C-alpha cells in the first residue's frame, strides 16, 4: 500500500506528464476505445505478473488527472 501511495504522489509531478499521455494514447489505440473503458480493457488480458504495473499506471493517471483539474 505504501509503495502504491508513493508512486501516485510522484505521478503528480509534471515531468511525468508526457510519459503518462503517451501511455494513455497507446492504450487507447491498442484497444480501439475512446473512453474510460480503456482501463478495464488494459487489465482484462493482462497476466498476473503484469497486473500490478497496469493497476499502478491506472492509479497514476487518475491521480494526475485529478491534480491537473484541481
* This model's pTM is above 0.85: no
What residue has cell string 499506471?
A: 57
Residues (pLDDT < 50) of the chain are none
* Residue count of the chain: 70
Predicted local distance difference test score (pLDDT) of residue 33: 83
Residues 6+ apart with CB under 8 A from 60: 7, 8, 11, 16, 20
Residues 6+ apart with CB under 8 A from 36: none
Amino acid at each position: 500500500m505504501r509503495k502504491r501511495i508513493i508512486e501516485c504522489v510522484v505521478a503528480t509531478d509534471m515531468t511525468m506528464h508526457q510519459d503518462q499521455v503517451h501511455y494513455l494514447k497507446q492504450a487507447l489505440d491498442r484497444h480501439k476505445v475512446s473512453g474510460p473503458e480503456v482501463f478495464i480493457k488494459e487489465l482484462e488480458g493482462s497476466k498476473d505478473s503484469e497486473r500490478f504495473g497496469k493497476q499502478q499506471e491506472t492509479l497514476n493517471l487518475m491521480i494526475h488527472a485529478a491534480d491537473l483539474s484541481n
